[in-house]
Amino acid sequence: EADIYQTPRYLVIGTGKKITLECSQTMGHDKMYWYQQDPGMELHLIHYSYGVNSTEKGDLSSESTVSRIRTEHFPLTLESARPSHTSQYLCASRAPGETQYFGPGTRLLVL
Amino acid sequence: GENVEQHPSTLSVQEGDSAVIKCTYSDSASNYFPWYKQELGKRPQLIIDIRSNVGEKKDQRIAVTLNKTAKHFSLHITETQPEDSAVYFCAASSPFSSNTGKLIFGQGTTLQVKP
């Protein structure tokens, strides 16, 4: 089934750990996005990609990095997690001029 | 750059009443305007969208209107039900600006429908 997947769904981790949030989509979309969102609050774009080997920083400064080696895969990495990184991270993908779909999100808690 | 302002930030209505959420955008080249609904603990999901070549679109109890001259668009929900309670986000997209391909989201409106 065509969808967008995120793992893990929930993550509790200690300060200073390196983490990678996975995002995959099976719709063949070129455009993929990462948003940071506190519960019920604004969607903040932190990274986006227009295709393989294309990545850009979003509107909200983030200490995370992303990569896009395959069309369907857009992982986000935090080299050293801090309590300020506690939030929900939503991945999304979109075909040109078409609907943007969101993944189910990863809820991150950094202790 | 492109900016989208959304009002109100919170809206409380009685079941059966109508709810209206308004958004204004800054980039006159914007041509695609989706609305997303995000229920508690869930992902945002598209509920309706409109393109700049039409002024209004309806889908059962929801409708969206677009005023290109004034650069604003609105979401209308009629006969509200408790299950309409959620956070609603508007967005705009332009094919020509530096934001090509990106949806610019409004700040969100928390709608509460009281039984």
pLDDT in tens, A72-111: 999 999 999 999 999 999 999 998 767 899 999 999 999 9
Contact B52, B27 (CB under 8 A): no
Contact A28, A51 (CB under 8 A): no
A52 or B53: whose pLDDT is higher?
A52
Among the partner residues B89, B102, B110, nearest to A48 by beta-carbon distance: B102
pLDDT higher than 60, residue B98: no
Range A55-70 average pLDDT: 90
Cβ separation A43–B44 shorter than 8 A = yes
pLDDT higher than 60, residue B97: no
Q: Which residues of chain B have a CB within 8 Å of the CB of A43? A: 44, 89, 105, 108
Shortest Cα distance, chain B CAs vs residue A47, angstroms: 11
Give the HSE-up count for residue B101: Cα atoms under 13 Å, Cβ half-sphere: 17
Which of A29, A99, A100, A107 to mutate to probe the B interface, most B CBs <10 Å? Answer: A100
How far apart are alpha carbons B107 and B2 in whole angstroms?
A: 14
pLDDT higher than 90, residue B52: no
Q: Scanning every residue of chain A, which has its alpha carbon at the shortest distance from the alpha carbon of B1?
A: A59
How far apart are alpha carbons A24 and A33 in whole angstroms?
A: 11
In this structure, how many other beta carbons lie within 10 angstroms of the beta carbon of residue B17? 13
So what's the pLDDT on residue B100? Answer: 62
Range B102-111 average pLDDT: 95
pLDDT higher than 60, residue B99: no
So what's the pLDDT on residue B66? Answer: 97
CB pairs under 8 A between A and B: 41
Q: How confident is the model at residue A64 (pLDDT cuts 50, 70, 90)?
A: very high
Tell whether A47 is within 8 A of chain B (Cβ). no
pLDDT higher than 80, residue B95: no
How far apart are alpha carbons A16 and A83 in whole angstroms?
A: 9
How far apart are alpha carbons B74 and B102 in whole angstroms?
A: 20
Contact B105, B48 (CB under 8 A): no
How far apart are alpha carbons A53 and A29 in whole angstroms?
A: 14
So what's the pLDDT on residue A104? Answer: 97
Range A7-24 average pLDDT: 97
Question: Is the C-alpha dihedral spanning A96, A62, A6, B47 positive or negative?
Answer: negative
Cβ separation B103–A31 shorter than 8 A = no
Among the partner residues B46, B89, B101, nearest to A43 by beta-carbon distance: B89
